[in-house]
A = this chain, B = another copy of it.
Amino acid sequence: MSDTLTVTDRTRLRRSHQRGHFDRETINAILDAQPMCSVGYVIDGKPFVTPTLQWREGNHVYWHGSSASRALRRSREAEVCLSVAILDGFVLARSGMHHSVNSRSVTLYGMAFRVEDPEEKHAKLARFVNGLFPGRYEGLRDEYAQDLKATMVLGMEIAEGSAKVRTGGPNDEEEDYDLPIWAGVVPVRMEVGEPVPDPRNLPGVEMPEHVKTFRL
């Protein structure tokens, strides 16, 4: 297994400059930091993008949805482009041109496959829940067979793609640093709020550690 991803024409399409990264460590860290992703696919020659949650196991990413979803049915065993993007801040420069954002993103290309084996599918879904909330899955009621049937799990190999990372302050033209214009970075980040218990929780059921300590 190579430490870096395959560089192809399409990975170069967005990666013509210094911000591109092809090493698995950078790519995996971004995938693990943000479950929200966008899956792009083609139906009848036209582009579709679906926001969903992804999770990583080794050198694969997975996502899931309803087996009844036409979108999901059409994206299995087909070429997909999976994108994860994290906004870290707005970069305010002295010229409009050099305004930017600090961000971390990953773009992966490949064939999606469907996880067919029911036991494997079950294990993947357990891993998904436990990946966000460690140990939660084992405390839930057992899945019904029909619920598992109604759920489709798709995956793709992390083989072709790249990450793009921008950090730091503005990069202005040298002569613009003499201008009396405020420049800098306005950071943004995802914050976890106070958990809201379901009013129908049974008396005495306490908030578990995996909720109290949840962080993105």
Binding site for B on A (CB under 8 A): 10, 13-14, 16, 36, 38-43, 45-51, 53, 68-71, 74, 79-83, 85, 87, 89-90, 92-97, 99, 101, 103, 105, 107, 109, 125-126, 129, 132-133, 136-137, 139-141, 143-144, 147, 150-151, 169-170, 176-202, 204-208, 211, 214, 216
Contacts and interface: CB of A to CB of B under 8 A. Distances in A.
A143 B187 contact: no
A80 to B, nearest CB: 6
Copies per assembly: 2
A interface secondary structure, majority? mixed
Given A14-B71, A141-B181, A143-B95, A51 B191 contact: no
Contacts of A144: 97
Nearest to A122: B96
A36 B93 CA distance: 19
A211 B198 contact: no
A199 to B, nearest CB: 8
B189 A196 contact: no
A195 B205 contact: no
Contacts of A206: 182
A97 B49 contact: no
A69 B14 contact: yes
A184 B169 contact: no
Contact of A96 (B14, B143, B189, B193): B143
A121 B98 CA distance: 16
Given A81-B48, A137-B96, A194 B187 contact: yes
Contacts of A68: 16
A105 B182 CA distance: 34
